[in-house]
């Protein structure tokens, strides 16, 4: 490798998507509508797509070693069953490509403590006992920046909760480029939006639907059967009023807005189109429509996940191939980064 530092102009980066999900057990409708459904759409568009099971992120909070491998394979099954085609997208687990951690270390040295301290996800996850949180949880966003930038990815589809981490990724790329006088890392474009950018709890419309919520009734899990889905939507919190015909009528009605948004996202429709159809209906009429649509959409995914998990050798083959393809992109970026930083590579 030459000693010359290679630079890039921002518009010469290939259109490349990167995103990941933690195999921390339990997948929700929020992960599907907020993330994976968009991953599948972007795979069909004009992008090279790279999707990752971020197992090293998962261990920033305690993971049972007896379950982590199972959860990683199950997450791969979820990706594939939802429509990620391993021949079109690169699908792999993060720990298989050690360049993530190496670039993550460089970014630990670029990111500032003050930036990290502002991260609301750290504050939420660490809770009141931040002194006892792992150093990994604190440094999570620097590793996340490395996950993305080690592929020179340009677009990152995520749910709304990840917005702040993506802003930090841009800050890290900008500071690196500035400090070393290069134009090496791209300014990523977050891809966030649509009716399901933030799917809320079915029990409390002010909280994100989340796998770690103590109430199972708060979420739809990707493995829930039709009866369970029906029961959870039946019990979902609502208000006594009829549904409005226009979006403005959802203001101040977080639970109603959430159920309508889920219905819209499941059917690839806009919220206003839905409201022009269902405006005036009571929840007792609307909820069965929601159940029908959710079961129709989610049951085939659950069934395919179960099939893939019967013999996991197919998943393991896909991931091994994914690691190979991802490594081929990541290593040159890492080497060039070391070159820029001045690290000796004998």
202 φ/ψ sector (left φ>0, alpha ψ -120 to 50, else beta)? alpha
Nearer to ligand AQP, 98 or 210 (CB): 210
Q: Smallest gap, in angstroms, from Cβ of residue 116 to ligand AQP?
A: 17
Exposure class string for 176-190: b at 16+ Cβ within 10 A, else e: bbeebebebbbebeb
Using alpha carbons, select from 148, 150, 171, 149 the residue that is nearest to residue 158.
148
Note the residue count of the chain: 346
User: Distance (Å, rounded) from C-alpha 77 to C-alpha 84?
Assistant: 10
Helix runs in 253-282, H state only: 254-266, 271-278
Nearer to ligand AQP, 168 or 340 (CB): 168
* Catalytic-labelled residue, pool 69, 175, 211, 281: 211
Q: Smallest gap, in angstroms, from Cβ of residue 144 to ligand AQP?
A: 9
Q: Smallest gap, in angstroms, from Cβ of residue 284 to ligand AQP?
A: 25
Query: Token match 């006892």: residue?
Result: 132
User: Distance (Å, rounded) from C-alpha 60 to C-alpha 138?
Assistant: 9
* Catalytic-labelled residue, pool 208, 232, 257, 287: 208
Nearer to ligand AQP, 51 or 185 (CB): 51
Q: Smallest gap, in angstroms, from Cβ of residue 29 to ligand AQP?
A: 8
Is 325 marked active-site? no
Nearer to ligand AQP, 26 or 279 (CB): 26
User: Distance (Å, rounded) from C-alpha 251 to C-alpha 249?
Assistant: 6
Nearer to ligand AQP, 198 or 321 (CB): 198
Q: Smallest gap, in angstroms, from Cβ of residue 213 to ligand AQP?
A: 7
Site residues, ligand AQP (CB under 6 A): 21-22, 24, 28, 30-31, 34-35, 158-159, 161-162, 196, 198-199, 208-212
Exposure class string for 139-155: b at 16+ Cβ within 10 A, else e: bbbbbbbbbbbbbbbbb
| Burial class of residue 270 (count of CB atoms within 10 Å of its CB; 0-12, 13-18, 19+) | middle
| Burial class of residue 266 (count of CB atoms within 10 Å of its CB; 0-12, 13-18, 19+) | buried
Is 208 marked active-site? yes
Residues designated catalytic: 125, 208, 211
């Amino acid at each position: 490798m030459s000693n010359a530092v290679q630079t890039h102009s921002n518009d010469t980066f290939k259109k490349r998507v990167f995103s990941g999900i933690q195999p921390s057990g339990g997948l929700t409708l929020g992960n599907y509508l907020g993330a994976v459904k968009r991953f599948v759409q972007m795979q069909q568009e004009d992008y090279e797509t790279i999707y990752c099971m971020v197992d090293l992120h998962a261990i920033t909070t305690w993971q049972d070693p007896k379950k982590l491998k199972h959860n990683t394979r199950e997450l791969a099954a979820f990706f594939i069953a939802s429509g990620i085609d391993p021949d079109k997208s690169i699908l792999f687990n993060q720990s298989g490509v050690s360049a993530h951690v190496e670039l993550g270390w460089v970014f630990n040295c670029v990111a500032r403590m003050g930036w990290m301290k502002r991260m609301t996800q750290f504050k939420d996850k660490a809770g009141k006992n931040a002194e006892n949180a792992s150093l990994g949880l604190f440094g999570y966003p620097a590793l996340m920046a490395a996950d993305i930038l080690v592929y020179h990815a340009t677009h990152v589809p995520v749910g709304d909760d990840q917005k702040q981490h993506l802003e930090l990724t841009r800050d890290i790329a900008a500071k690196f480029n500035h400090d070393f006088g290069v134009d090496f890392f791209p300014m990523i474009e977050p891809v966030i939006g649509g009716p399901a950018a933030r799917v809320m709890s079915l029990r409390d419309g002010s909280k994100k639907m989340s796998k770690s919520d103590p109430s199972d009734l708060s979420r739809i899990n990707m493995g829930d059967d039709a009866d369970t889905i029906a029961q959870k939507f039946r019990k979902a919190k609502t208000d006594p009023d009829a549904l409005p015909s226009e979006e403005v009528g959802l203001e101040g009605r977080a639970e109603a807005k959430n159920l309508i948004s889920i219905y819209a996202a499941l059917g690839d429709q806009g919220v206003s189109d839905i409201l022009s159809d269902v405006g005036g209906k009571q929840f007792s009429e609307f909820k069965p429509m929601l159940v029908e649509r959710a079961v129709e959409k989610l049951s085939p995914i659950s069934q395919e996940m179960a099939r893939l998990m019967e013999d996991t050798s197919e998943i393991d083959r896909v991931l091994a191939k994914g690691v190979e393809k991802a490594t081929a992109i990541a290593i040159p970026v890492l080497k060039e980064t070391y070159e820029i930083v001045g690290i000796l590579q004998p």
